[in-house]
């Protein structure tokens, strides 16, 4: 970046600091949570900001205060990675449809867009975006195929496409680092080797988690010639870096090994081992010193690879590993999931400073408190400790309360006397907690010892539900067994072999007379009497989700392409609501407190031209669609819930946010 010109990004002038109101879709009051993030945090060219790619867009944070200052590129969302050009003029982003955009940072204008070929779009999530050293070209690698694209930054025209002679894909997603040589004549990228073809299924998807990216291909960009294919790598390549002279290429392995090759003949020059066992981020300084970085939540470890010296503090010269656009001494920011925090290292630090953020996990269960002041959410996130968040439903900018509980998959509910409960699973036990000023374990049911099987998969609780008034726990397990436990009398009311496999969902009716069970896979769901344990009805068509009406007389059943309203007394479907194509697979359903309205939200589907998943409000009596809220969640709608007065609808998405929709224009008070 040129030092003579002030770097001045075109940030929005927001009316207030309440980021819950920034870039909201039409019809929403607020957004709770800032969206899941993908760890590719990037500092700005002046070191004053850092950018966080998230499922709802690109967040700009002030480096000093660690607070959000702006939100960009929310049109599609699902931003997996971002990158600044070395000259500081351009910002590249990649969205959920594989559309790569290049932004003029000083004008906040998208100057070019790049799309993958049509047949490659189902595998379009970008792994890395890397600008050439002269800032004229952008290289893009994918997480799930072999292909490497290079585009002209200003025109969006394709300069090169490497390794397109095979249609093989791989699973799961992989990190595929890219490196340009100093003169931009060469580009290196990791590629899986041909031995993996033996693991391909009928769809040409490679399904193995071993040695999936263990060779390095190097091309001449101008001629398109592949100069070498380095294949004698025993482990996953985590990073690549050319030396400033262009004479060497270094790689960092997942096992901590660093290797250096000669660019002249591509022969291995050095192998450095025993420098830790973590993934190595290798980088050269402008003086040609080779370093290897290891990152932990509370430790910053850098090795001088050649000298074998270890440093445990953040030094000024290390900032170069964040990119050529970064000035010396720029702090380094990373992300920790448990709980969601930013980890910030500044020059001289041996321990980082921590700052909480609201990039939460995925809300899959929501409920308002009886007074409507609190919105409780049960959350899911890989390895996350925060299982519940309590949000202020009136003062949206107030910091929420994070609650850590053992186990996971906690569904939240409210009793008739206003208490909030969380019911989840913890290994072979179902647990119920009362949530208030403190968390109190009020009930536990453990699977019977004598019912354990000798199958390879360890038997566990798969789902649980709690009946507040009758003090009952319904518990399903991985073998398809259904248990109903009387908490007060400490006895088993009922035990059934209800399903052939994993029970996905259990739900009590509001009057607690009925229990609905849904199998994880396959077409069978059942309705049961709670008192007798007798089966009332079976539903042979696969249902995605169900909801009871407040009076416990109706059940809304999401059936894939429609919603059926089933009357318990009549024992039949009384209304069928066909769904528009964009709303198939309704995994989120909820009746309004008055029972007149039904809300639904669906999973996102590739190939339908969808940017965001709609949330629908239906008239229960007629099946009429009252309103479809669009422009909200960029991925699956996981849950919906009405406020007690029915004037607000909360929707939780896989993007890690909760949107509050204003229903007052659409309902009869």
* pLDDT at 3 (0 to 100): 45
Sorting pLDDT into bands at 50, 70 and 90, what band is 2? Answer: very low
Sorting pLDDT into bands at 50, 70 and 90, what band is 1? Answer: very low
Of 72-86, 92-106, 153-167, 561-575, the one with minimum mean pLDDT is 153-167
User: What is the rounded CA–CA span in Å between residue 102 and residue 94?
Assistant: 9
Neighbouring residues of 490: CB distance < 8 A, sequence distance ≥ 6? none
Taking every pair of Cα atoms in the chain, the longest distance, rounded to a whole number of angstroms, is: 81
**Mean pLDDT across 29-39:** 93
Residue 151 lies in a domain: yes
* pLDDT at 452 (0 to 100): 47
Same domain for 218 and 297: yes
Residue 636 lies in a domain: yes
Neighbouring residues of 648: CB distance < 8 A, sequence distance ≥ 6? 29, 372, 393, 642, 660, 661, 662, 663
Residue 16 lies in a domain: yes
Question: Counting Cβ atoms within 10 Å, is residue 439 exposed (0-12), middle (13-18) or buried (19+)?
Answer: middle
Residue 279 lies in a domain: yes
Domain boundary (485, 508, 543) is at: 543
Domain count, the chain: 4
* pLDDT at 455 (0 to 100): 54
Of 459, 389, 398, the closest CA to residue 422 belongs to 389
Question: Could you tell me the CATH number of the domain that includes residue 638?
Answer: 2.130.10.10
Same domain for 441 and 300: no
Same domain for 272 and 142: no
* pLDDT at 213 (0 to 100): 57
Same domain for 520 and 399: yes
Question: Could you tell me the CATH number of the domain that includes residue 125?
Answer: 2.120.10
Domain boundary (543, 571, 590) is at: 543
Neighbouring residues of 384: CB distance < 8 A, sequence distance ≥ 6? 337, 338, 339, 340, 361
pLDDT digits (tens, 9 = 90+) for 162-221: 875 556 666 556 678 999 999 999 999 987 666 666 777 776 666 665 555 578 999 999
Expressed as residue numbers, the domain containing 597 is 547-668
Q: Where are the beta strands (DSSP E) in 400-553?
A: 401-404, 408-414, 420-426, 429-435, 439-446, 461-467, 472-477, 481-486, 491-497, 503-508, 514-519, 525-529, 535-539, 545-548
Cis amide linkage into residue 339, ω under 30° from 0:
yes
pLDDT digits (tens, 9 = 90+) for 416-439: 999 999 999 999 999 999 998 789
Residue 583 lies in a domain: yes
Looking at mean pLDDT, say which of 145-149, 179-183, 222-226 comes out highest: 179-183
* pLDDT at 173 (0 to 100): 62
Same domain for 165 and 251: no
- CA angle, residues 484, 487, 491, in degrees to nearest 5: 65
Same domain for 421 and 536: yes
Neighbouring residues of 653: CB distance < 8 A, sequence distance ≥ 6? 362, 363, 601, 613, 632, 633, 634, 635, 636, 637, 638, 659
pLDDT digits (tens, 9 = 90+) for 341-375: 999 999 998 889 999 999 999 999 999 999 999 99
User: What is the rounded CA–CA span in Å between residue 5 and residue 160?
Assistant: 32
Please give the residue that has the higher pLDDT: either 98 or 607. 98
Sorting pLDDT into bands at 50, 70 and 90, what band is 475? Answer: very high
Residue 203 lies in a domain: no
Q: Mean pLDDT, the chain, as a whole number?
A: 89
Same domain for 240 and 170: no
In percent, the amount of the chain with pLDDT more than 90 equals: 67
* pLDDT at 287 (0 to 100): 93
pLDDT at 4 over 50: no
Helix, strand, coil % in the chain, rounded to nearest 5: 5, 45, 50
Same domain for 592 and 515: no
Task: Give, rounded to a whole angstrom, the gap between the first and last alpha carbons of the chain.
Answer: 59
* Cα–Cα distances in angstroms (integers) from residue 193 to residues 232, 249, 268, 395, 561, in the given order: 10, 19, 18, 54, 41
Residue 284 lies in a domain: yes
Of 37-41, 115-119, 154-158, the one with minimum mean pLDDT is 115-119
Q: Tell me how long the chain is.
A: 669
Neighbouring residues of 668: CB distance < 8 A, sequence distance ≥ 6? 596
Same domain for 151 and 231: no
Domain boundary (285, 315, 345) is at: 315
Same domain for 56 and 75: yes
User: What is the rounded CA–CA span in Å between residue 157 and residue 112?
Assistant: 9
Same domain for 282 and 189: yes
Can you give the pTM of this predicted structure? Answer: 0.93
Residue 454 lies in a domain: no
DSSP 139-158: EEEESSBS-EEEEETTT--E
pLDDT digits (tens, 9 = 90+) for 581-639: 989 989 999 999 999 999 999 988 776 677 899 999 999 999 999 999 999 999 999 99
* pLDDT at 127 (0 to 100): 87
Same domain for 188 and 122: no
Neighbouring residues of 223: CB distance < 8 A, sequence distance ≥ 6? none
């Amino acid at each position: 970046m040129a030092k003579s010109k002030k770097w001045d990004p075109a940030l929005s002038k927001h009316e207030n600091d309440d980021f819950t109101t920034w870039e909201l879709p039409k019809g929403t009051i607020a957004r709770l949570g800032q969206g899941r993030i993908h760890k590719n945090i990037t500092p700005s060219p002046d070191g004053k900001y850092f950018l966080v790619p998230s499922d709802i867009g690109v967040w700009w944070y002030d480096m000093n205060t660690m607070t959000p200052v702006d939100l960009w590129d929310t049109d599609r969302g699902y931003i997996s990675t971002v990158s600044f050009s070395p000259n500081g003029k351009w910002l590249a982003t990649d969205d959920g449809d594989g559309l790569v955009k290049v932004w003029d940072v000083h004008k906040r204008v998208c100057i070019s867009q790049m799309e993958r070929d049509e047949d490659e779009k189902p595998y379009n999530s970008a792994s890395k975006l890397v600008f050439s050293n002269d800032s004229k070209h952008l290289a893009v690698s994918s997480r799930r195929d072999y292909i490497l694209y290079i585009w002209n930054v200003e025109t969006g025209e394709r300069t090169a496409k490497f390794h397109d002679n095979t249609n093989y894909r791989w699973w799961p997603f992989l990190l595929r680092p890219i490196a340009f040589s100093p003169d931009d004549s060469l580009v290196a990228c990791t590629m899986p080797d041909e031995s993996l073809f033996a693991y391909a299924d009928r769809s040409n998807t490679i399904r193995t988690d071993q040695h999936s990216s263990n060779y390095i291909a190097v091309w001449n960009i101008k001629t398109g010639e592949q100069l070498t294919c380095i294949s004698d790598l025993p482990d996953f390549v985590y990073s690549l870096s050319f030396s400033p002279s262009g004479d060497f290429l270094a790689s960092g392995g997942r096992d901590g090994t660093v290797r250096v090759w000669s660019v002249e003949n591509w022969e291995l020059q050095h192998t450095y081992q025993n420098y830790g066992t973590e993934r190595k981020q290798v980088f050269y300084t402008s003086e040609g010193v080779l370093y290897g970085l290891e990152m932990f939540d509370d430790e910053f470890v850098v090795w001088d690879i050649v000298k074998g010296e270890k440093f445990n503090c953040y030094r000024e010269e290390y900032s170069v590993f964040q990119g050529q656009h970064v000035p010396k001494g720029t702090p380094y920011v990373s992300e920790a999931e448990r709980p969601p925090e930013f980890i910030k290292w500044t020059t001289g630090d041996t321990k980082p400073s921590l700052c909480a953020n609201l990039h939460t996990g995925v809300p899959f269960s929501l409920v308002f408190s009886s007074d409507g002041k609190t919105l409780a959410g049960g959350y899911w996130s890989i390895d996350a400790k925060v299982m519940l968040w309590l949000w202020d439903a009136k003062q949206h900018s107030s910091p929420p309360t994070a609650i850590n509980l053992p186990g996971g998959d906690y569904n939240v509910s409210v009793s008739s006397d206003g208490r909030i409960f969380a019911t989840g699973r913890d290994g072979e036990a179902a647990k119920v907690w009362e949530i208030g000023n403190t968390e109190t374990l009020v009930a536990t049911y453990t699977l019977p010892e004598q019912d354990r099987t000798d199958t390879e998969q360890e038997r566990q609780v798969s789902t649980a539900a709690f009946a507040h008034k009758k003090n009952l726990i319904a518990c399903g397990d991985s073998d398809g067994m259904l248990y109903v436990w009387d908490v007060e009398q400490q006895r088993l009311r009922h035990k059934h072999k209800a399903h052939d496999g994993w029970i996905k969902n259990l739900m009590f009716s509001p009057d607690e007379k009925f229990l609905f069970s849904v199998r994880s896979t396959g077409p069978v769901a059942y309705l049961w009497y709670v008192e007798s344990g007798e089966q009332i009805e079976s539903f042979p068509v696969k249902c995605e989700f169900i909801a009871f009406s407040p009076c416990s007389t109706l059940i809304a059943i999401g059936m894939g392409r429609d919603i059926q309203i089933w009357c318990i007394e009549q024992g039949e479907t009384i209304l069928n609501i066909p769904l528009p194509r964009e709303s198939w697979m309704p995994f989120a359903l909820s009746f309004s407190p008055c029972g007149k309205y039904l809300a639904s939200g669906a999973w996102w589907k590739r190939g339908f031209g969808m940017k965001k998943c709609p949330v629908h409000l239906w008239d229960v009596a007629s099946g009429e669609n009252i309103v479809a809220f669009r422009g909200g969640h960029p991925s699956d709608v996981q849950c919906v819930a009405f406020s007690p007065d029915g004037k607000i609808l909360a929707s939780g998405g896989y993007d890690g946010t909760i949107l509050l929709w204003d229903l007052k224009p659409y309902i009869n008070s």
